[in-house]
């Protein structure tokens, strides 16, 4: 299967495209593919909302961090305004993903192995 960002209408891999890949590579029907992708991301979202880390081996870690309150400034008026504390999601890529990005090795064979590992 050929995959590159250049083949996409927009230069991003979307949930719809992931569902299409499941449909093509695994043989799920389109509805099942979409439901599986939606369930996957809903599970990740739910874990993060609950304050849990999400660790995906070979890909990276999503974590919730609490940013402390800090002083800010209105750029138009220069007026000082306090910025309240807030929770943010951070992502740290795994060493494997970083190496693939640096070596530009995320190729067709990598994508195919994702979809064929459990199919043999």
What domains can you pick out in the chain, each with its CATH number?
5-119 (4.10.520.10)
**Mean pLDDT of all residues in 19-29:** 90
Question: pLDDT class for 103, splitting at 50, 70, 90?
Answer: confident
pLDDT (tens digit per residue) in 37-87 = 999 999 999 999 999 999 999 999 999 999 999 999 999 999 999 999 999
What is the reported pLDDT for 28? 87
Mean pLDDT, the chain, rounded, equals 85
Tally the C-alpha atoms within 13 A of residue 27's C-alpha that lie toward its C-beta. Answer: 3
SS (H, E, C) the chain: CCCCHHHCCCCCCCHHHHHHHHHHHHCCCHHHHHHHHHHHHHHHHHHHHCCCCEEECCCEEEEEEEECCEEEECCCCCCEEEECCEEEEEEEECHHHHHHHHHCCCCHHHHHHHHHHHHC
């Amino acid at each position: 299967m050929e995959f590159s960002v250049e083949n996409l209408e927009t230069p991003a891999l979307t949930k719809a495209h992931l569902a299409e890949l499941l449909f093509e590579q695994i043989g799920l029907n389109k509805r099942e593919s979409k439901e599986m992708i939606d369930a996957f991301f809903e599970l990740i979202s739910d874990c993060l909302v609950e304050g849990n880390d999400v660790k995906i081996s070979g890909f990276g870690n999503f974590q919730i961090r609490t940013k402390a309150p800090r002083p800010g400034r209105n750029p138009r008026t220069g007026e000082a305004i306090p910025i309240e504390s807030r929770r943010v999601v951070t992502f740290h890529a795994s060493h494997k993903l970083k190496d693939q990005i640096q070596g530009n090795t995320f190729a067709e064979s990598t994508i195919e192995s994702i979809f064929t590992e459990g199919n043999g």
